[in-house]
Amino acid sequence: MAIYYIETTIPSFYHEVRAEPDMVARRDWTRRWYDVAFTSDRIVSSAAVLDELRRGDFPGRDDCLEMLNTIEMLELNDPVFEIVEAYLANANKFGQIRRINGILGLFTPELVTPMELLGGT
Protein backbone atom coordinates (compact mmCIF):
# COMPACT_ATOMS: atom_id res chain seq x y z
CA MET A 1 0.00 0.00 0.00
CA ALA A 2 1.33 3.41 -0.98
CA ILE A 3 0.86 6.55 1.08
CA TYR A 4 -0.01 9.74 -0.78
CA TYR A 5 -0.07 13.21 0.74
CA ILE A 6 -2.33 15.37 -1.36
CA GLU A 7 -2.25 19.12 -1.49
CA THR A 8 -4.72 21.54 -3.05
CA THR A 9 -4.22 20.60 -6.69
CA ILE A 10 -5.71 17.10 -6.33
CA PRO A 11 -9.15 18.17 -5.04
CA SER A 12 -9.05 21.23 -7.29
CA PHE A 13 -8.33 19.19 -10.43
CA TYR A 14 -10.79 16.48 -9.36
CA HIS A 15 -13.60 19.04 -9.20
CA GLU A 16 -12.45 21.12 -12.17
CA VAL A 17 -15.33 22.59 -14.20
CA ARG A 18 -13.50 24.44 -16.99
CA ALA A 19 -13.99 23.02 -20.49
CA GLU A 20 -10.58 23.78 -22.04
CA PRO A 21 -8.95 20.54 -23.24
CA ASP A 22 -5.97 20.77 -20.87
CA MET A 23 -8.28 21.31 -17.88
CA VAL A 24 -10.52 18.40 -18.90
CA ALA A 25 -7.43 16.20 -19.27
CA ARG A 26 -6.13 17.16 -15.80
CA ARG A 27 -9.56 16.49 -14.30
CA ASP A 28 -9.78 13.09 -16.00
CA TRP A 29 -6.24 12.02 -14.99
CA THR A 30 -6.86 13.12 -11.42
CA ARG A 31 -10.17 11.28 -11.18
CA ARG A 32 -8.75 8.09 -12.73
CA TRP A 33 -5.86 8.07 -10.27
CA TYR A 34 -7.74 9.20 -7.16
CA ASP A 35 -10.70 6.84 -7.57
CA VAL A 36 -8.35 3.84 -7.60
CA ALA A 37 -5.91 5.14 -4.96
CA PHE A 38 -8.73 6.04 -2.57
CA THR A 39 -9.79 2.38 -2.35
CA SER A 40 -6.35 0.75 -2.43
CA ASP A 41 -3.87 3.15 -0.81
CA ARG A 42 -3.59 5.54 2.12
CA ILE A 43 -4.37 9.12 1.16
CA VAL A 44 -3.63 11.84 3.68
CA SER A 45 -3.63 15.62 3.80
CA SER A 46 -3.44 18.33 6.45
CA ALA A 47 -5.14 21.37 7.90
CA ALA A 48 -2.79 23.52 5.84
CA VAL A 49 -4.46 22.22 2.67
CA LEU A 50 -7.91 22.73 4.16
CA ASP A 51 -7.01 26.30 5.07
CA GLU A 52 -5.70 27.06 1.60
CA LEU A 53 -8.86 25.70 -0.03
CA ARG A 54 -11.10 27.57 2.41
CA ARG A 55 -9.41 30.85 1.48
CA GLY A 56 -10.09 30.26 -2.20
CA ASP A 57 -13.08 31.45 -4.18
CA PHE A 58 -13.64 29.14 -7.14
CA PRO A 59 -16.28 26.79 -8.56
CA GLY A 60 -16.18 23.44 -6.81
CA ARG A 61 -14.61 24.80 -3.62
CA ASP A 62 -17.22 23.19 -1.37
CA ASP A 63 -16.80 19.86 -3.20
CA CYS A 64 -13.04 20.08 -2.65
CA LEU A 65 -13.53 20.66 1.07
CA GLU A 66 -15.98 17.78 1.30
CA MET A 67 -13.49 15.53 -0.48
CA LEU A 68 -10.91 16.25 2.21
CA ASN A 69 -13.43 15.33 4.90
CA THR A 70 -13.22 11.74 3.64
CA ILE A 71 -9.47 11.30 4.15
CA GLU A 72 -7.05 11.19 7.06
CA MET A 73 -5.69 14.52 8.27
CA LEU A 74 -2.09 14.58 9.49
CA GLU A 75 -1.23 16.52 12.60
CA LEU A 76 0.88 19.60 12.01
CA ASN A 77 3.50 20.12 14.71
CA ASP A 78 6.45 22.43 15.26
CA PRO A 79 8.96 20.38 13.21
CA VAL A 80 6.55 20.39 10.26
CA PHE A 81 6.13 24.16 10.48
CA GLU A 82 9.92 24.56 10.55
CA ILE A 83 10.24 22.47 7.39
CA VAL A 84 7.51 24.47 5.67
CA GLU A 85 9.41 27.67 6.46
CA ALA A 86 12.62 26.18 5.03
CA TYR A 87 11.16 25.38 1.61
CA LEU A 88 8.11 25.55 -0.63
CA ALA A 89 7.10 22.15 -2.02
CA ASN A 90 6.89 22.57 -5.77
CA ALA A 91 8.59 20.80 -8.62
CA ASN A 92 10.65 23.85 -9.61
CA LYS A 93 12.49 23.75 -6.27
CA PHE A 94 12.74 19.99 -5.87
CA GLY A 95 16.54 19.90 -6.19
CA GLN A 96 16.80 22.44 -3.38
CA ILE A 97 14.30 20.49 -1.28
CA ARG A 98 16.29 17.27 -1.77
CA ARG A 99 19.55 19.03 -0.70
CA ILE A 100 17.96 20.61 2.39
CA ASN A 101 16.39 17.31 3.40
CA GLY A 102 19.73 15.55 2.94
CA ILE A 103 21.42 18.07 5.24
CA LEU A 104 18.62 17.71 7.80
CA GLY A 105 18.59 13.91 7.51
CA LEU A 106 14.96 13.90 6.33
CA PHE A 107 13.19 11.64 3.86
CA THR A 108 12.38 13.40 0.59
CA PRO A 109 8.98 12.49 -0.87
CA GLU A 110 8.38 12.29 -4.58
CA LEU A 111 6.39 15.16 -6.08
CA VAL A 112 4.27 13.70 -8.85
CA THR A 113 1.10 14.40 -10.77
CA PRO A 114 -1.79 11.99 -11.25
CA MET A 115 -0.74 11.64 -14.89
CA GLU A 116 2.74 10.49 -13.81
CA LEU A 117 1.17 8.02 -11.39
CA LEU A 118 -0.96 6.64 -14.23
CA GLY A 119 2.19 6.04 -16.28
CA GLY A 120 2.11 9.15 -18.48
CA THR A 121 4.80 11.77 -18.88
Q: Is 49 within a domain?
A: yes
Tell me which residue range forms the domain holding 25: 3-74+110-117
Judged against a pLDDT cut of 80, whether residue 54 lies above it is answered with: yes
Residue 11 belongs to some domain of the structure: yes
- For 74, phi and psi rounded to 5 degrees? -80, 150
pLDDT at 112 over 90: no
Would you say residue 63 lies in a domain?
Answer: yes
In a domain, 85, yes or no: no
CA angle, residues 25, 8, 18, in degrees to nearest 5: 35
Dihedral over Cα of 60, 72, 111, 76: its sign: positive
Domain total of the chain? 1
Distance CA 37, CA 41 (A): 5
**Strand, helix or coil for residue 44:** strand
Q: Please determine, for residue 91, whether its predicted confidence score (pLDDT) is greater than 70.
A: no
In a domain, 84, yes or no: no
